[in-house]
């Protein structure tokens, strides 16, 4: 297992390089949350989920993932490309006119790995629940995963969906909240305090796990595997995952300033120096 962990750690470093290079090239994008969720994406797509090598939109016979906070598309695109869904070289087209890699994921260009357009916050939970219901109707035993920003929990639609999922026993769903404490306008606790998120999900009838080390790859894998073991028991499962926005790039960490800001040339070189090339840049 150690060699596999080392390989995934190398991938984490490479994905960070991809993220900062992508947003730097077009001077646009969201590096902070992408960097903070890198370990989660690498773990999910390379260790935890059961996914087919050939992408089919209906997703029958495999696990599904839905990114609700679509602005962190750089990490999503990087991990999909590094997993083989499309050429790594295509990452260089991020946010360019006519690119399949738009700032928020979109389906009209039929990019492999993308099943919904996302970015309008609050909607991804509803979509994931619908997909989980479809799997139940199809007697497909595979799971549905989703990721949400903590600032996104300020959207009322989230809580309507959370109530529905528990009320209908959607127990093939694992929803993760990226609890980095930052959103575009500042710390979440200053913009709109979220209170005890774990207790709120529990009050709505969910089984909830907490992950305090969301930037520790092995801890992420272990918690996701524990969540899988809790499915099928009548309740949806939530993971409250503490991460550091901008993790891995020291000047981007612990601040909302890099939620949607690209590094300049000098800052890019600093970020790349802190994350040495491991698998080859595009």
pLDDT at residue 2 in the model: 45
Q: Which tokens go with 72?
A: 């962190």
Q: Annotate 73-141 with DSSP letters as a single string.
A: HHHHHHHHHHHTSS-GGGGGGTT-TT-SS-SS--STT--TT--S---STT-HHHHHHHHHHHHHHTT--
Residue 187: how many other CB atoms lie within 10 Å: 15
- pLDDT, tens only, 67-95: 999 999 999 999 999 999 999 999 999 99
Q: Which CATH class is domain 2-273?
A: alpha beta
pLDDT at residue 79 in the model: 98
Q: Is the pLDDT of residue 1 over 60?
A: no
Q: What is the mean pLDDT of the chain?
A: 96
Inter-residue long-range contacts of 222-225, CB under 8 Å, 24+ positions, other chains counted:
224/43, 224/44, 224/48, 224/174, 225/48
C-beta separation of 125 from 146 below 8 A: yes
- pLDDT, tens only, 223-250: 999 999 999 999 999 999 999 999 999 9
Count helices and strands (H / E) in the chain: 10, 7
Q: Which tokens go with 182?
A: 């930052």
Band the pLDDT of 109: cuts 50, 70, 90.
confident
Q: Is the pLDDT of residue 149 over 70?
A: yes
Domain ranges of the chain: 2-273
């Amino acid at each position: 297992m150690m060699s596999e962990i080392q390989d995934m750690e190398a991938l984490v470093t490479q994905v960070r390089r991809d993220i900062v290079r992508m947003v730097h090239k077009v001077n646009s994008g969201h590096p902070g949350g992408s960097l903070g969720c890198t370990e989660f994406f690498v773990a999910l797509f390379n260790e935890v989920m059961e996914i087919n090598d050939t992408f089919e939109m209906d997703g029958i016979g495999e696990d599904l993932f839905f990114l609700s906070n679509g602005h962190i598309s750089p990490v999503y695109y990087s991990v999909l490309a590094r997993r083989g869904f499309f050429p790594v070289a295509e990452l260089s087209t991020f946010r360019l006119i006519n690119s399949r890699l738009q700032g928020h994921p979109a389906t009209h260009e039929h990019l492999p790995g993308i099943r919904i357009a996302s970015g309008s916050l609050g909607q991804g939970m509803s979509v994931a629940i619908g997909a989980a219901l479809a799997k139940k109707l199809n007697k497909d035993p595979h799971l549905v995963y989703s990721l949400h920003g903590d600032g996104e929990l300020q959207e009322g639609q989230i809580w309507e969906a959370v109530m529905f999922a528990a009320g209908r026993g959607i127990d093939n769903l694992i929803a993760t909240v990226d609890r980095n404490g930052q959103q575009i306008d500042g710390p979440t606790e200053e913009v709109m305090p979220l209170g005890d998120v774990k207790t709120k999900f529990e009050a709505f009838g969910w089984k909830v796990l907490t992950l305090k080390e969301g930037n520790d790859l092995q801890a992420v894998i272990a918690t996701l595997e524990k969540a899988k073991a809790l499915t099928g028991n009548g309740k949806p499962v939530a993971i409250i995952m503490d991460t550091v926005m901008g993790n891995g790039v020291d000047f981007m960490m612990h601040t909302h300033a890099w939620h949607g800001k690209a590094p300049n040339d000098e800052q890019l070189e600093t970020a790349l120096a802190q994350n040495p090339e491991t698998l080859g840049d595009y």
